[in-house]
Amino acid sequence: MQYADEFRDPAKARTLVEEISKLAALLAKARGRPLQVMEVCGGHTHTIFRYGLKAMLPEALEFVHGPGCPVCVLPMGRVDDCVALACNPKIIFTTFGDAMRVPGSKGSLLQAKAEGADVRMVYSPLDALKLARENPTREVVFFALGFETTMPSTALTVLQARREGIRNFSLFCNHITIIPTIKAILDSPELTLDGFLGPGHVSMVIGNRPYDFIAERYHRPIVVAGFEPLDILQSLWMLLKQMKEGRCEVENQYKRIVPEAGNAQALAAVAEVFELREFFEWRGLGSIDHSGVRMRAAFADYDAERKFGVPGLSIADPKSCQCGEVLKGVIKPHQCKVFGTSCTPERPLGALMVSSEGACAAYYRFGRIAIKPVETETVAS
């Protein structure tokens, strides 16, 4: 943990916060409104709440929690498909933990499990493959979701299954890709964002060039950021500096992990197994062209959608849900009509309330009440 501690030094944080506060005050005054910065990635949202960054930063700077939590943007229809697959007695349905609680129109995977479906929590697709090896008479389906961050590991798992000749393993592929989504947000007429913190883990795979259009075409600065609290503060500072100097560039704060050109090997595996879908539905954001991937025809045997068929119904979000507006930064989580009343982590209406990376759950859990920070004791200890 020594490595991590370096990025959690409160003294360094204080200096950065001072710098950020000065810049933010200046910029907000010039624009006549607070600055809005979107962190695209759910991991960033989590860090912001986990370390209480919001409380350290000035009010002139607002975070907008973007669509970067794959669990949060999963549409109801896809969850229903999961439940349908899991209810097939032949199938062992495997999934990451936080995906188990996402509400579908007929309940969540957790509820399906309670009612007898064989749903198992795994920590990686390789665990699911192992289950397939150990249960040759059953069909093991892995619920593959996530952005480019998790795509390579599922692609590599499928390739390994094929190498080993394992036939009872398949993916229910719900991977999504970040670029079209950012584009959709930038095209939104309600857009008020001033800049972006780019998703570091995604860039680890795809590199930084794919973000060029944000700076070039939409004239917004973006800094690709790491996940430690100091990473986020430093990235914010870099972002505000760009704004002050009137620059719009793609900068890389996460150089220690992110190579400019990404990871060729990972990209090759992804390209071999997956291809873009025409369109993919997002919870709260509607359908976005080319924003999801499916498995190529050559891997049809490993594609649960082809192997078993899924209902594939599109189901509208409940009317009272305002997830889309929160995702686009139009309203803050607590401004949603149902926040904390009919939508809570116990009984989530919208997906943003489900995963701990979801903006609404994070607000609910970490930031619900406003308290004055106590300045003295923390730095000293």
Partner 1 sequence: MKMDDPHGKRMPGGVVTLAHGGGGSAMRKLIENVLLPAFNNPLLAALEDQATVPLAELLVHGDRLAFTTDSYVVTPMSFPGGDIGKLAVCGTVNDLAVSGARPLYLSCGLVIEEGLEMAHLAMIVESIAHAARLAGVSVVTGDTKVVERGAADKLFINTAGIGVIPAGIQISASRAQPGDAVIVSGSLGDHGIAILLARNELALDAAVMSDCQPLHGLVAVMLGACQDIHCLRDATRGGVATVLNEFATSSRVGIRLREAALPVNETVRGACEILGLDPLYLANEGKLVAVVPATHADAVLAAMRAHPAGLEAAIVGEITAESAGNVILSTAFGGYRVVDMLVGEQLPRIC
Q: Which two tokens stand for residue 46?
A: 């989590």
Q: Which two tokens stand for residue 213?
A: 């259009």
Rg (CA), the chain: 21
Q: Which two tokens stand for residue 210?
A: 């794919």
CA dist., res. 149 & res. 152, Å (int): 7
CA dist., res. 173 & res. 154, Å (int): 9
Q: Which two tokens stand for residue 144?
A: 């593959």
The option from partner 1, ligand SF4, none interacting with 52 (CB < 5 to 8 A, set by class) reads partner 1
Question: Site for ligand SF4 (CB under 6 A): which residue of 86, 214, 343, 362?
Answer: 343
Which positions from 285 through 324 interact with ligand SF4, judged by CB under 6 A? Answer: 321-323
Which positions from 18 through 57 interact with partner 1, judged by CB under 8 A? Answer: 43, 46, 49-56
Q: Residue 12, Cα to own-chain centre: how many angstroms?
A: 28
149-162 as b/e: b if 16+ CB within 10 A = bbbbbbbbbbeebb
Min CB(32)–partner 1 separation in Å? 28
The residue among 193 and 354 lying less far from partner 1, judged by its C-beta, is 354
For partner 1, which stretch binds (CB under 8 A), given 30-38, 154-162, 248-256, 344-352? 344-352
Question: Site for partner 1 (CB under 8 A): which residue of 75, 146, 292, 324?
Answer: 146
Residue found by looking up tokens 């299954």 in the block:
161
The residue among 149 and 322 lying less far from partner 1, judged by its C-beta, is 149
For partner 1, which stretch binds (CB under 8 A), given 263-271, 282-290, 315-323, 357-365? 357-365
CA dist., res. 179 & res. 54, Å (int): 26
CA dist., res. 33 & res. 14, Å (int): 24
DSSP 8-class letter at 317? P
Q: Which two tokens stand for residue 201?
A: 């883990």
Min CB(141)–partner 1 separation in Å? 17
For ligand SF4, which stretch binds (CB under 6 A), given 125-133, 208-216, 218-226, 335-343? 335-343
Q: Is 355 in the site for partner 1 (CB under 8 A)?
A: yes
Nearest to 169 by CA among 195, 121, 203, 131: 131
Strand order from edge to edge, sheet including 119-121:
119-121, 91-95, 139-146, 169-175
Q: Is 369 in the site for partner 1 (CB under 8 A)?
A: yes
The residue among 44 and 220 lying less far from ligand SF4, judged by its C-beta, is 44
Q: Is 326 in the site for ligand SF4 (CB under 6 A)?
A: yes
CA dist., res. 19 & res. 27, Å (int): 12
Q: Is 124 in the site for partner 1 (CB under 8 A)?
A: yes
Question: Site for ligand SF4 (CB under 6 A): which residue of 61, 350, 355, 357?
Answer: 350
Q: Which residues bind ligand SF4 (CB under 6 A)?
A: 321-323, 326, 333, 336, 338-339, 343, 349-350, 352-353, 360
Q: Which residues bind partner 1 (CB under 8 A)?
A: 1, 4, 8, 10, 13-14, 17, 43, 46, 49-56, 70-71, 96-101, 121-124, 126-127, 145-146, 149-150, 201, 229, 344-346, 355-357, 364-369, 371, 373-374, 377-379, 381
